[in-house]
């Protein structure tokens, strides 16, 4: 069994002690260093070369966002942000994913909390999985995604765009959405796998500075063109033929609730050939079965290519299943969506 070597970066000794206790209770994870601020985190990452860095966002001298930028520029290493779930911390944590961190999780509650075991298991699983991700120096200029043409109008053929993303998804989604015009003409529904405590903050963070309004989806809510609807915590989110959001409390699909497969399958049933699916960076295969249903119904599917993906998992599995029509680099997805909506997919 290969040992996962972890660097802890947190100015709180209490937090570092708890993390050490959780991780080293597993036989295959070892703490190889502890940094008390961002400057130490950068230097220790360069010297120790850990398999993964667990990074807090609030630290003296240099915070977690700037430390993440420095590490990804000088010694690219998988970074997992572990922070409090307050509004400000969620915003900062997601900004760190835009700077190059792979994922953001809330710090586990006290061991006496009923949620502790669930949080502990998620943290351990993510440390193991993300330590295997091969990260590189990769910077995406959001401005490259902006279409140079004028405002696009819907042709009446594409009725909804459905997105799915996991690891690396927040930054990728933001890159795509910032490239869409405010009058894109169709509603957009998103399933982003993210820590349960972070979903509302993710919707707020994603919408900051975008040309499109972003909100958490509501049960039976009528969808409006040009609005981005984020699937809320712990419920499947789909769409109906009369243009409303629908929820389901049925069990997880492939371990996920909300599930991208549920969303894509609902688009297939409700809109058929007028549905457009997009699968971005992320681990696993959630969404594949739903995308196959969308394809069979005549819908169109775009996947993010390997070179621009933080984790080439979900799109790769969809491609292997024959569910992808077009594989594109991240900076080409927004212009292509505008073309497909405007041209009615050329039909």
Q: Enumerate the active-site residues.
A: 166, 193, 286
**Cα gap 143→134, rounded to integer Å:** 26
Residue 223 near residue 245, CB atoms below 8 Å: yes
* Helix/strand/coil for 324: coil
CA–CA distance, 256 with 287 (Å, rounded to integer) = 10
- The residue behind tokens 């109906």 is 240
User: Burial level of 230, CB count in 10 A (0-12/13-18/19+)?
Assistant: buried
Which residue's entry shows tokens 């492939």? Answer: 254
Closest CA to 65 of 55, 78, 73: 55
Cα separation, 17 vs 318, in Å, equals 41
Q: Characterize the bridge pairing of strands 275-279 and 52-55.
A: unpaired
């Amino acid at each position: 069994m290969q040992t996962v070597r972890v660097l802890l970066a947190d100015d709180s000794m209490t937090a570092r002690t708890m993390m050490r206790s959780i991780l080293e209770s597993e036989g295959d994870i070892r703490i190889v260093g502890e940094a008390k601020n961002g400057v130490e985190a950068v230097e220790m990452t360069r010297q120790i070369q850990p398999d993964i860095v667990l990074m807090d966002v609030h630290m003296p001298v240099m915070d977690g966002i700037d430390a993440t930028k420095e590490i990804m520029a000088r010694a690219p290493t998988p970074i997992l942000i572990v922070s409090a779930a307050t509004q400000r911390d969620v915003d900062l944590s997601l900004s760190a994913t835009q700077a190059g961190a792979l994922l953001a999780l809330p710090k586990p509650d006290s061991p006496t909390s009923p949620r502790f075991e669930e949080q502990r298991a998620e943290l351990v699983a993510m440390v193991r999985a993300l330590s295997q991700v091969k990260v590189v120096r990769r910077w995406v200029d959001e401005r490259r995604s902006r279409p140079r043409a004028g405002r696009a109008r819907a042709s009446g053929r594409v009725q909804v765009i459905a997105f799915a993303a996991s690891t690396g998804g927040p930054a990728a989604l933001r890159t795509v959405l910032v490239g869409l015009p405010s009058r894109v003409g169709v509603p957009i529904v998103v399933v982003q796998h993210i820590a349960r405590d972070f979903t509302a903050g993710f919707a707020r963070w994603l919408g900051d500075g975008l040309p499109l309004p972003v909100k958490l989806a509501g049960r039976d809510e009528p969808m409006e063109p040009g609005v981005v609807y984020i699937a809320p915590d712990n419920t499947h989110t789909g769409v109906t033929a009369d243009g409303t959001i629908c929820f389901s409390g049925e069990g997880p699909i492939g371990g996920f609730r909300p599930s991208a497969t549920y969303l894509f399958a609902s688009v297939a049933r409700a809109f058929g050939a007028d549905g457009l699916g997009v699968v971005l960076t992320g681990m696993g295969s959630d969404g594949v079965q739903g995308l196959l249903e969308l394809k069979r119904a005549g819908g169109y599917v775009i996947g993010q290519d390997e070179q621009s993906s933080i984790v080439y998992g979900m799109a790769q599995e969809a491609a292997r299943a024959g569910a992808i029509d077009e594989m594109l680099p991240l900076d080409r997805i927004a212009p292509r969506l505008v073309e497909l909506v405007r041209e009615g997919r050329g039909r």
